[in-house]
Amino acid sequence: MAQNELVKYEPELNTIPLRKFTSVEMNLFFSIISRMRDKEDTTMRFHFDQLKDLSDYKATSNKRFVKDLEVTYDKLMDLRFGRRSADGLDSERFVMFTDFDIKGTSEQPYVDVSIHPKALHLLNDLESWVRFSLHQFNELQSSYAKTMFRLLKQFRTKGIAYFSKDDFHQLLDIPTSYKQGEINRSVLKPIQDELKPIFKGLTIAKKYGKGRGTPVIGYTFSFKAERKDADDFNQHAPRTEIKKQIKEIEQGNLSEDQKQKLIDYLEKRLED
């Protein structure tokens, strides 16, 4: 079902770091987001089978699924939205979702999700937006790649995005203990590996500042800009899907010459 599912929301949502969210929890969150778009109702029902399908959920146990829903909601409760007036005297704060009512004992288990009325503008009557394929998002493995995927989709028609070091660390929730070497290995490498097949020509350039050791002070992500009317659905096969195809070819009944030709072609796509 997620093959042609579109996630679309107000760019403000990209400014909220999804702190400590796992890949599974991100999939659940954006699956819910995808179906609550352009709905005036503040509460929507998701049957377990529907939400599992949307989020490409692998585990089959409903008990485990309920636990993942509970943990996802607990983390969502830590996300704060709001506004402050220019003079700083007026301020408001609220959470995006107010309730997860889980009924795992129902004949058709479901969860009712309620959105705060003040958060409706994030999903309704959008004048500007971020949009992407839920299927592509779900297939990404690294939580860092998932976050950068949706951040770069905000700049999809520009083909370039710059993040200061502080913003980059905050938005991706990078542990403060990470030195640059660990950031290169655990953050930048999976982003480059997983997103290069989606964002054509993706490069990551570090900006260096002055001072001892020429510290990194920012990152520029460059890629081929998309047309405004570009198809969001699987423009380029995700890296995991290409590797799956290679494995199937290796285990198939083709001649060794045929196998090698197909594998060479798919491996070249990984490099594009």
Based on the number of CB atoms within 10 Å of its own CB, is 62 exposed (0-12), middle (13-18) or buried (19 or more)?
middle
The predicted pLDDT at position 12 comes to: 92
pLDDT of residue 87: 86
Q: Is the dihedral of CA 18, 21, 24, 25 positive or negative?
A: negative
State in words which class domain 144-229 has. mainly alpha
3-state helix, strand, coil in the chain (%, to 5): 45, 20, 35
3-class DSSP state for residue 166?
helix
Identify the three-state secondary structure at position 7: strand
Nearest to 25 by CA among 112, 122, 143: 143
d(CA 17, CA 167): 10
Residue type, 142: S
Distances (CA, A) of 141 to 50, 104, 138, 149, 205: 21, 28, 8, 11, 23
- The pair of structure tokens assigned to 146 is 């998932």
CATH number of 1-139: 1.10.10.10
Taking Cα atoms as reference points, which of 234, 232, 267, 233 lies closest to residue 249? 267
Partners of 208 in the β-ladder:
216
- Positions of CATH 1.10.10.10 in the chain: 1-139, 144-229
Which tokens go with 160? 């370039």
Tokens standing for residue 66: 């309920």
Neighbours of 30 (CB within 10 A): 23
Task: Determine the Cα angle at 127 with ends 126 and 132, to 5°.
Answer: 60
**113: helix, strand or coil:** strand
Angle at 147 between CA 126 and CA 176, to 5 degrees: 130
pLDDT at 239: 57
Mean pLDDT by 10 residues, the chain (272 residues): 81 91 96 90 93 92 95 91 83 90 96 93 92 93 96 96 97 94 96 93 94 90 88 57 67 74 65 52
pLDDT at 256: 78
Query: How many other CB atoms are there within 10 angstroms of residue 112's CB atom?
Result: 13
Count Cβ neighbours within 10 Å for each residue of 43-54 and write b for 16 or more, e otherwise.
eeebebebbbeb
Helices (H), ranges, the chain: 23-36, 48-54, 62-76, 134-139, 143-153, 165-172, 180-183, 189-195, 239-250, 256-271
